[in-house]
Structure 1
Amino acid sequence: MYRFLLTRQWAIITLVALLLIPTMIWLGFWQLHRHDHRQRLNQLMSTSLAARPVPVRSLTAVGGSVAHHDVYRRVTAKGRFDTAHELVVRRRTNTDEQVGYHVLTPFTLDDGATLLVNRGWIPAPVSQTAFPKIPAPASGDVTVTGRLMQDETTAASGIKNLKGLPDRQVMLINSEQVGALLRGSGDASARAVLGGYIEMTSPAPQGGSPQLLPTPQEDTSWIGVGDINLPYAVQWWLFAAGVPVGWLVLVRRELRERSAATREPAAQETEPAPA
């Protein structure tokens, strides 16, 4: 009765089912891992943003890196903006999902080191090759406050680090790469660039531009993200449980069709011949 399961067609169906079950179970655990990671990151953000600001030098150093537990910590720095070597970061969106640039301005500290400051978002100009007009920051000595961030990488952000971009435009905010660009432009102070960068929160820009970057709580793209992965995990596990059920349904349907096909010729043979 079940000899049809040995046919090539059913062998392939069974093999596919056997492969789908562990794959879907793995995808469920992968989504669960992402859920746990997101929950830990949300907790880290809340703790860091609630902490009192500390000097940036206490959490990062020249040529160093920002520790994971220090991400989003509020830091302060005193110095001067170096607009002559200002850069823009391409393909960045604001809270309205408009594509534009992030303004990346070197900030020379009192001790001569350079801190990269993301001053916020500006809309993209018509020309994608010309350097955009950017409102100037406060001049002279100023104290800035911002959220400390790790260097961006392609692996972590998914953003391709394209080559051959127009002058003073980059794809990633990476202190090592930006430092090399600044040194190539003849900026001696860029030889001592602090690891990571900050998203500036104060002082507020004159005229509201560039737009300061929102906190994760204010960014609508974060709303509900932490809860999405858990339902996805359950969904994949339900799919995994449904595979053997679906396989059994197909087997029973095949049995009914084969039984019906067997009974039909038998019924035709028992009918009396017409007179």
Structure 2
Amino acid sequence: MHPTTELYGRGVYRFLLTRQWVILTLVALLLIPTMIRLGVWQLHRHDHRQALNKVIDDSLAAQPVSAESLTSVGGSVRHEDLYRRVTAKGRFDTAHELVVRRRTSTDDQVGYHVLTPFVLDDGRTLLVNRGWIPSPGSQTAFPKIPAPTEGEITVTGRLMQDETTAASGIKNVKGLPDRQIMLINSGQIGTLLRNGDDGSAKDVLGGYIELTSPAPKGGSPELIPSPKEDSSWIGLGDINLPYAVQWWLFAAAVPIGWVILVRREARERSRRTEERHEEPAPAAVG
């Protein structure tokens, strides 16, 4: 029998019972399901993104409808109505205009979004995000905002859900300067306006719209761009599916790597054992 075969038969893999290898094996066994679950989580995020892209594409392709038909006072915007093009007739109430802090422009400059109440013909109020303006030198003073069209007009915009900290990751900081907010939330803004003696704020429609027309004179505020159409199977800018595949490849690599390490250790131990057996016996002293 070959010496190496004999050594394997004698239990060269007994080193797997040592403390070091037991710990290494347990770590490998824990990593595999953990990485698989992380891949599944990324796949779920990919599926959610794809579903949202379909909602957005369908909404932008649909004909505009009245904002009042898709939202109500104190209500909420349904997921399937996100980005739906809507119209509303009324007038802007610039006296109660607000700005939303820490919002970026199309070229990633930090500034404000301009949120202007739009009073409908029936007296209810629709919140309209008129777009982005740069930050002034002072972070406490209310910025100078270009005025919208005066008088009664019809606006068109994309319907959006109320922002929350949980969904957006934006912390709702308290103690901000007057008429400055962090989140566009119709319930919170309605309370804020009522505390400021705005009688019309008692009937604020849920959600808000991102203005698309009429376009502002001089291009300011800068209108929020429409989401890009996404017909790719992965998803435009979607990194979740590649991450899912990456985690699963890592999970597959763990047992392969473990086997490679075990075989390498076994060969090394066999080589050292063979060398000890092949050492010549010391010469006898006569």
**Fold shared by both chains (TM-score > 0.5):** yes
Counterpart AA for 2:96? H
Amino acid at match of 1:233: A
**Partner amino acid, structure 1, of 2:260:** V
Query: What amino acid is aligned across from residue 32 of structure 2 in structure 1?
Result: I
Partner of 2:32: 21
| Pairwise CA distance, 1:61 | 0.3
- Displacement of 1:260 in angstroms is 3.1
CA deviation profile, 1:108-167 (whole Å, cap 9, x unmatched): 111111111000011112222221111111111111100000001111111111112221
2:101 and 2:111 in contact (8 A); partners too:
yes
Matched, 1:164 2:164: no
The amino acid of 2:56's aligned partner reads M
1:176-203 Cα distance to aligned partner (Å, 9 max, x none) = 0111111111111111110000000001
Tell me, in whole angstroms, the C-alpha distance in 1 between the residues paired with 2:246 and 2:269: 34
Give the match for residue 114 of structure 1.
125
Q: Distance in 2 between matches of 1:97 and 1:272?
A: 83
Aligned length: 272
Deviating more after overlay: 60-69 vs 153-162: 153-162
- Describe the SS at the equivalent of 1:161: coil
More off after superposition, 40-49 vs 1-10: 1-10
In the aligned structure 2, how far is the partner of 1:273 from the partner of 1:150?
94
> In 2, Cα distance between the equivalents of 1:273 and 1:53?
105
Instruction: State whether structure 2 residue 245 is matched by structure 1 residue 210.
Output: no
Pairwise CA distance, 1:77: 0.7
TM-score (norm: length of structure 1) = 0.93
Q: Is the contact between residue 49 and residue 72 of structure 1 (CA under 8 Å) also seen in structure 2?
A: yes
Task: Please show how residues 24-63 of structure 1 align to structure 2 within 5 Å.
Answer: 24-63=35-74
8 Å Cα contact 2:57-2:229 kept in structure 1: no
Query: What residue ranges of structure 2 are gaps of 5+ in the alignment?
Result: 1-11
Of 160, 176, 180, 1:149 maps to: 160
2:62·2:84 contact (CA, 8 Å) conserved in 1? yes
The separation in 2 between residues aligned to 1:227 and 1:154, in whole angstroms, is 23
* Structure-1 separation of matches of 2:126 and 2:254: 55
Q: CA RMSD in A?
A: 2.1
Cα distance between partner residues in 1 of 2:282 and 2:103 = 79
Contact 2:59–2:82 (CA under 8 A) maintained in structure 1: yes
2:206 alignment partner AA: G
1:73 paired residue number: 84
Question: 1:273 and 1:148 mapped to 2: Cα distance?
Answer: 99
TM-score (norm 2): 0.89
Find the partner of 1:186 among 165, 184, 197: 197
